[in-house]
Amino acid sequence: MGEGVVVGGFRPGRPKTDKLDAVWLAKLAERGMMQASFVPPQPVRQLRDLTRARTVFTQERTRHKQRVEKLPEDAQIKLSTVVSDLFGVSGRAMLDALIAVQRPPHPRRPRPRPHGQQETGSDRGPHRAVRRPPRPPAARAADHR
């Protein structure tokens, strides 16, 4: 009822209910004490609509970027510490490599095995120490001469 008009002030010291407000607004309208509110011209309203839409799109884009950044972090891959902009050229290259299930652009050192796991000969790399068989007692005695 009073949405398109400006009503000056309020009724101080009296209880505020919807019924009392409706009676008060009806009396103000009856007496011609309500003035019309400002309605901007059509181009200004269109500009405001476009600005609101742009704000919503920017918020949506940010939300999607945060979701993309969170996916690798759930797999214990923190790309934001390596790349300043995850959606820049190198950040996108890393994301593409992860999506294609390739090695990352910068190779990392292999992770050590937990204690107690047996090591097979096929997965020994240059970083692993190789145990030599024990030397016969005669060879050890020759070294001490």
DSSP 8-state secondary structure symbol assigned to residue 57: H
- Taking the C-alpha atoms of residue 1 and residue 144, their distance in angstroms, rounded to an integer, is 109
**What is the maximal distance between C-alpha atoms in the chain?**
125
- State mean pLDDT over 51-57: 98
| Residue 1: per-residue pLDDT | 46
Nearest to 69 by CA among 57, 60, 81: 81
| Residue 112: per-residue pLDDT | 61
- State mean pLDDT over 4-21: 68
- Taking the C-alpha atoms of residue 89 and residue 92, their distance in angstroms, rounded to an integer, is 5
- Taking the C-alpha atoms of residue 72 and residue 86, their distance in angstroms, rounded to an integer, is 11
Check whether 21 has a pLDDT greater than 60. Answer: yes
* Both structure tokens of 48: 């405001």
Helical residues (DSSP H) of the chain, grouped into ranges: 18-30, 42-74, 89-99, 137-143
Check whether 46 has a pLDDT greater than 80. Answer: yes
Here the contacts of 84-92 (C-beta below 8 Å, separation 24 or greater) are: none
**Tens digit of each residue's pLDDT (9 = 90 or more) over 85-132:** 899 999 998 888 888 875 555 656 556 666 655 555 555 555 555 667
Dihedral angle computed from the Cα positions of residues 73, 78, 83 and 86, in that order, rounded to the nearest 10 degrees: 0
- State mean pLDDT over 31-37: 83
| Residue 24: per-residue pLDDT | 85
| Residue 107: per-residue pLDDT | 58
Nearest to 79 by CA among 105, 42, 53: 105
Prediction pTM value: 0.47
Which of the two residues, 49 and 1, has the higher pLDDT score?
A: 49
Check whether 51 has a pLDDT greater than 80. Answer: yes
**Tens digit of each residue's pLDDT (9 = 90 or more) over 56-81:** 999 999 999 999 999 888 888 888 88
